[in-house]
Amino acid sequence: MKLLNRSLLYLSVTFLVIIGIWSVIFYFNIKDEIRDSIDDGLDNNKLLILQKTKTDPSLFFQDEFSGNNFEIHPISKQKALVFRDLYKDTLMYRLNENDLEPVRILHSAFEHQDNYYHLKVISSLIEEDDLIEDSFWSIIWLFLILIASILIVNNIVLGKLWKPFYDILERLNTFRLDKDEASLMIPTKTKEFIQLQQASNALFRHSKKAYISQKQFTENASHELQTPIAIIINKLELLLESEYLNENDAKSIAKVISIAGRMKRLNNSLLLMAKIENKQFLDVKTVSINKITKEFLTHYKELTEYRQITVQFIETKQCSVNMNNALSEILISNLIKNAIFHNKQHSNITIKITKQEFIISNQGETNSLDSKLIFNRFEKDASKTNSTGLGLAICKTICNAYASDISYSFSENQHSFKINFKNITSRD
Amino acid sequence: MKILVIEDEIELQNIIKTSLLKEQYTVEVASDYYAAQEKITIYDYDCILLDIMLPNGSGMNLLQELKKMNKSGSVIIISAKNSVSDKIKGLELGADDYLTKPFHIAELTARIKAVIRRNNLDGKNYIELGNIVLHTQDRTLTINGNLIHLNRKEFDILYYFLLNKNRLITKTALAEYVWGDHIDESDNFDFIYYQIKNLRKKLDNAEASIIVDTIYGIGYKLSEK
């Protein structure tokens, strides 16, 4: 939810509550006030009638309202003496409205020449349901107008006030470590935004520094480790050529060479993953997954023939993706190699390429592998000690770098790996 | 043939030198920028092995100077940096090949011979040994003038053997040469063994004057009968 809308939401809820409570209080106050003044009027009428009875005895025969606003009935002395003035709401039939309408009535008692009388004075009362309805609608209108004006003010004034904020946000969103970007220079006089800008710039600088030093570490680690490994391997290779070696020594040396070779591959693979994660493979172009797959199938042809593996290659469409060429080759070749080496002899490998997907399946162990662990680093088949266990981890790293999903599934003795390239499919 | 090894790591320098002496090359060494600069200015070499990171300067600058001086020798960059941009830059500056450390000695020997052959080719694109001729351009083998069919891997293996004649090639080095860098499954060795068995059979049947020997079960060596 946008900041503007959120503040609008809070304001509307607050207004709704305040206006609601206020209108209820207001309604009762008004009602009280109206009753008060009507009661005053009734009291005044009563006094006027009492005055008039002194001069006009005909009033004593007024025993029903019928057009007048009072009636007089004689009552006993006992009743009259305990009588107190009483104001009440009641309903009376009204001819014009053909309905019962609320009226205010004053019951009173008085004495005239030792006779006691009961006096009722009425006054028509405001219609409460009408009052409620009218005030309800005016309050709704008030509320709507308030919200509308806040909306307008928010959008115009606050939109202007918050503009530097949105500008900074936009820059933060598009900021990329690997691009050489200038620091933020959004013109603003608001203290908070200036601070935000300064904090963002400081963060940029720190990240960039960390990024560069990490990159340097990657390169240095590569350099520093590769040379000693090279010396180990090459010195041993020279030693192997010595005439004075016996067979057992030679075999031990060969073993050490192969272990050093594993160290070399481990180092290379870890550095490769670090480089991918550091986004050091920036050069992106359109590559055809179909073409790469065919190239590697040719490259491994003798190997598949030797292992008597039949490769079924199904292309339903051209799959062109935008990615780094070297990485796309590593990705596809790793998966093909993985399928070849974990396949049973005399069985099939199926590769299917659609517009967005690359699927490779092979027959291997009869049990499913753990799809959660399989892409982890150093997760490997215990029987294959010479493997680095990084092949699939590299695939996963490459896929992550390109927001593509790689998944593993097992059904009918087929281990399948599927890559979905939908986020980087080329539009050409 | 004169080769200059520019490498600051003395151990590695010695290894390369020892190995190249076995190939009957004349070898000189330089351990830093200035020594290397002096040598390349005064002498001519058939091949220069050039490390990029050197004390006092970058190998890339030496490469530029070499090209400025119009020297004819081949240059192979040997670097610990496996970076595509460095590779491209080096090759653009006129290096003939780029080898990433660590490498196998057999690989280095093969690369040196390949670039020297290319530069001193005089239109010759075949390797001859005894009665066999390996045509590198059209990838064919003739023994006593008869064409022998080799599959692609058999051809690659034989070519590698010929470039490393009389030298021991370990199975690991051979597997890496045949498959590229990232292969690491041991299943490969059976495959390599199978390819070599076939290759030997073909060489024998055609009465080739070369032989591929298995050394202690750890590698192979090609030699003339």
Domain ranges of chain A: 3-148, 205-277, 285-420
Exposed / middle / buried, residue A57 (Cβ in 10 Å: 0-12, 13-18, 19+): exposed
- Measured CA to CA in angstroms, residue A78 lies from A63, A75, A83, A109 at distances of 20, 8, 9, 11
The pLDDT score that the predictor gives to residue A419 is: 94
The pLDDT score that the predictor gives to residue B31 is: 93
Closest CA of chain B from A298, distance in Å:
10
Query: In chain A, what percentage of residues exceed pLDDT 70?
Result: 96
Contact A238 B18 (CB under 8 A): yes
Contact B182 A219 (CB under 8 A): no
Residue A367 CB contacts under 8 Å (≥ 6 apart), including other chains: A410
Rounded CA separation A330/A283 (Å): 15
Which residue do the tokens 């004649």 mark?
B165
Q: Which helix (H) or strand (E) holds A255?
A: helix A247-277
Contact B167 A241 (CB under 8 A): yes
Residue A202 CB contacts under 8 Å (≥ 6 apart), including other chains: none
Contact A254 B106 (CB under 8 A): no
Of B100, B170, B186, which is closest to A254 when you measure between CB atoms?
Answer: B170
Average pLDDT, rounded, for chain A: 85
Confidence band of B16 (pLDDT split at 50, 70, 90)? very high
Q: Which of A216, A235, A240 to mutate to test the interface with B (most CBs of B within 10 A)?
A: A240
Residues in chain A within 8 Å Cβ distance of B182: 265, 268-269, 330, 333-334, 337, 391
Which residue do the tokens 């016996």 mark?
A246
Q: Does domain B126-224 have CATH number 3.40.190.10?
A: no
Residue B11: closest CA among A235, A269, A127? A235
Closest CA of chain A from B41, distance in Å:
27
Query: What architecture is domain A285-420?
Result: 2-Layer Sandwich (3.30)
Residue B191: closest CA among A304, A250, A201, A199? A304
The tokens describing B198, both together, are 């076939």
Are the beta carbons of B113 and B71 closer than 8 angstroms? no
User: What does the buried/exposed string (b/e) look like for A334-362 if buried means 16 or more CB atoms within 10 Å of the residue's CB?
Assistant: bbbbbbbbbbeeeeebbbbbbebbbbbbb
What's the 3-state SS for B53-83? EECCEEHHHHHHHHHHCCCCCEEEEEECCCC
Domain B2-119 class in CATH? alpha beta
From A185-189, B63-67, B110-114, the region with the lowest mean pLDDT:
A185-189
Residues in chain A within 8 Å Cβ distance of B23: none
Instruction: State pLDDT tens for residues B138-194.
Output: 889 999 989 999 988 899 999 999 989 899 998 888 888 887 765 555 566 788 888
A19 pLDDT above the threshold of 60: yes
Residues in chain A within 8 Å Cβ distance of B187: 341
Residues in chain B within 8 Å Cβ distance of A306: 191, 194-195
The pLDDT score that the predictor gives to residue A343 is: 84
Residue B85: closest CA among B77, B33, B108? B77
* Chain A residue closest in CA terms to B7: A227
DSSP label of A207: H
- A388 lies within 8 A of chain B by CB: yes
The gap between the terminal CA atoms of chain A, to the nearest Å, is 36
Confidence band of B198 (pLDDT split at 50, 70, 90)? very high
A403 pLDDT above the threshold of 70: yes
Q: Which helix (H) or strand (E) holds A24?
A: helix A3-55
Which residue do the tokens 């064409």 mark?
B147
Q: Which helix (H) or strand (E) holds A293?
A: helix A289-299
Domain ranges of chain B: 2-119, 126-224
The pLDDT score that the predictor gives to residue A219 is: 67
The tokens describing B164, both together, are 């490393």
Of B9, B82, B167, which is closest to A227 when you measure between CB atoms?
Answer: B9
Residues in chain A within 8 Å Cβ distance of B153: 302
The pLDDT score that the predictor gives to residue A213 is: 85
What is the phi/psi pair of residue A29, to 5°? -60, -50
Instruction: State pLDDT tens for residues A327-357.
Output: 999 999 989 988 888 888 788 999 999 999 9
Q: How many CB atoms lie within 10 A of CB A22?
A: 11
Rounded CA separation B180/A333 (Å): 11
Coil, helix or strand at residue A112: strand
Radius of gyration of chain A (CA): 47
Query: In chain A, what percentage of residues exceed pLDDT 90?
Result: 19
The pLDDT score that the predictor gives to residue B161 is: 92
Rounded CA separation A353/A87 (Å): 92
From A32-41, A211-220, B129-138, the region with the lowest mean pLDDT:
A211-220
Give me the DSSP letters along A173-204: HH--TTS--PPP------HHHHHHHHHHHHHH
Exposed / middle / buried, residue B142 (Cβ in 10 Å: 0-12, 13-18, 19+): middle
The tokens describing A287, both together, are 């590559």
Residue B74: closest CA among B112, B36, B110, B32? B112
Rounded CA separation A86/A43 (Å): 10
Rounded CA separation A382/A178 (Å): 39
Closest CA of chain B from A167, distance in Å:
36
Q: How far, in whole angstroms, is CA A403 from its chain's centroid?
A: 20
Which residue do the tokens 């009388």 mark?
A117
Confidence band of A386 (pLDDT split at 50, 70, 90)? low
- A278 lies within 8 A of chain B by CB: no
Q: Which amino acid is at B217?
A: G
Q: Which helix (H) or strand (E) holds A209?
A: helix A191-240
Contact B81 A222 (CB under 8 A): yes
Task: Tell me the residue ranges of DSSP E strands in chain B.
Answer: 2-6, 26-30, 47-51, 53-54, 57-58, 74-79, 97-100, 126-129, 132-135, 140-143, 146-148, 168-170, 210-215, 219-224
The tokens describing A46, both together, are 């009563």
* Chain A residue closest in CA terms to B14: A235
**Helix pair B59-68, B84-92: axis angle to 10 deg:** 20
- B15 lies within 8 A of chain A by CB: yes
| A:330-359 residues touching chain B, CB 8 A cutoff | 330, 333-334, 337, 341
Tell how strand B97-100 and strand B74-79 pair up. parallel
Of A222, A247, A341, which is closest to B185 when you measure between CB atoms?
Answer: A341
ipTM associated with this complex: 0.84
The pLDDT score that the predictor gives to residue B119 is: 76
What is the phi/psi pair of residue A167, to 5°? -65, -45
Residues in chain B within 8 Å Cβ distance of A283: 84
Residue B174 CB contacts under 8 Å (≥ 6 apart), including other chains: B106, B157, B160, B192, B219, B220
Are the beta carbons of B68 and B95 closer than 8 angstroms? no
The pLDDT score that the predictor gives to residue B123 is: 54
The pLDDT score that the predictor gives to residue B29 is: 94
Rounded CA separation B21/A388 (Å): 35
